[in-house]
Amino acid sequence: MRLLSATAAAVILMALSIIAVPDMVNADALTQAILETPSGTGPGQIDPKAEPGYLGIPGGPQVNLILAFFWAIWVGWIFSTVGAFGGIMAGIGHITIYGLGNYADSFRNTSPGLNRTITDSIRVSNQFMGGLSALVSTINYLKLGRLVWPVGLALALGSILGSYLVPTLTAGKVSFRDYIGYFGLFVLLLGCWMLYETTPSGQKRKKKAKQAAQAFEATMKKKRSGQTIDTKELGVKVMSMNLKKIVFTFFGVEFSFNPLLPVMGGFAIASIAAFLGVGGGFILVPFLTSVAGLPMYLAAGTSAMAVLIGMLTSITSYMLQGVMVHWPLIGTQLVGIVAGSMVGPRTSQYIPDKILTRIFIILAFYVGLNYMARGFLGKDIIGLIFG
C-alpha cells in the first residue's frame, strides 16, 4: 500500500507540474518556429492555409487515433512483459508508424527550430507512454511478488538527478537525425550485450538467476497442471537490509547486492534514457540481469519501478523547458497503455525466460541497425539494400 500511495503521489506531482507550465510560452515558441519556416506546399515548407495537424501545425501529419490506440496496447504489453522496450516501441510508433520522424526531418535544412521542436515532442511523448506503463506494471508486479523494491528504489534515487539534468541541458538543441542515430546506436549495443549473455561465457556469470528462473518455471508448470500453490508466498522476500548489503530470496534462491551500485547505475542509465526520450528499461534490464544477477522474471517489475521515477522526473523537466505534446494523441495512447500493461504480467509467466531474452535481442538488432542507418547515413536499412 505504501508503494501504491507513493506512485499515486508521483502521478499527481507530474500532473501538477505539467499544469503549472505556462501554455502560452510553449505556443509562442512553436508559433515563432512556424513563422521562420518557408511558406509553400513542398517538403520543408508550411502552407498557412492547410488544415492543422500534429501540434496544430498547418499541414502537419494527421495521426490516426485508432491506430495509435492499438499500437499503445502493444507498447504496454511488451514493456510490462520484459520490463523494457516500452519507450523504444513508443519511439517507433511516433517516428515511423505515425510519420512524425520524416516530417521532422523534412525541416532539417529549411527550419532547424521546427525540426528540434518536433524532435523534443517525440522524446517526451515516448516518455508519457512508457511512464504510464511503468506505473501499471509496478503495481501489478508488486502484487505478484516479483518486484525487488530495494533495488528499484536504489535505482530510482540515482535516476532523479540524471533525469533532471539532461532535459535541462538538451531541450531545443537536438536535431532529429542526431537523435535517431544515437537512439539506434544505444539499442544495437544493448542487443550485442544481451547476445553475449546467451553464450557459455556469459551464462557462467548468471548461475543464481538461472536457478531461480528454473524454480519459477517449474512451480508455474505445477500450478498449470492443477496443483494449488501460493506463488506469492514464494516471491521476493527481503531478509536483511543496510547501507552496505541487501539480502533477499526468490523461490528459495538467495540474492545479495551493494545498494550503492544501483544508485550509480540509475544515474548513468537515466541520463542516457532522458537524452533518448525513453524510459531506460532496455538498459535497466541488462543491468539487473547482468550486473545485479536477477532473473528476467524479477528484472521486469524492478525495472518498471525505476523507470517510473525516472520518467516522472524527466517529463517534468522537459515540460518546464517548454516542450509541447499533442494531447489528443497522448490521451488516446495512455488508454491503450493501461490495457496492454494489465495483460503483460499475467501472460509473461507462460513465456520461458529464454524466449523473452531472444525477443529482446531480435528487436534490439532490428531497431538499432535501422535507426543508425537513418540517423548517420540518411536512409533506412531497406533503402540501403534496395536503393
Distance CA 208, CA 274 (A): 32
**Could you report the per-residue pLDDT of 167-202, keeping only the tens digit for each?**
888 888 888 888 888 888 888 887 887 788 778 777
Query: What are the residues facing 249 on neighbouring strands?
Result: 237, 254
- Tell me: pLDDT of 127 over 70: yes
Quick one: average pLDDT of 117-121?
Answer: 90
Distance CA 279, CA 273 (A): 6
Distance CA 278, CA 369 (A): 18
3-state secondary structure of 254: strand
Query: What are the residues facing 166 on neighbouring strands?
Result: none
**Could you report the per-residue pLDDT of 29-85, keeping only the tens digit for each?**
788 888 889 998 888 899 989 999 999 999 999 999 999 999 999 888 887 776 667
Give the predicted TM-score (pTM) of the model: 0.71
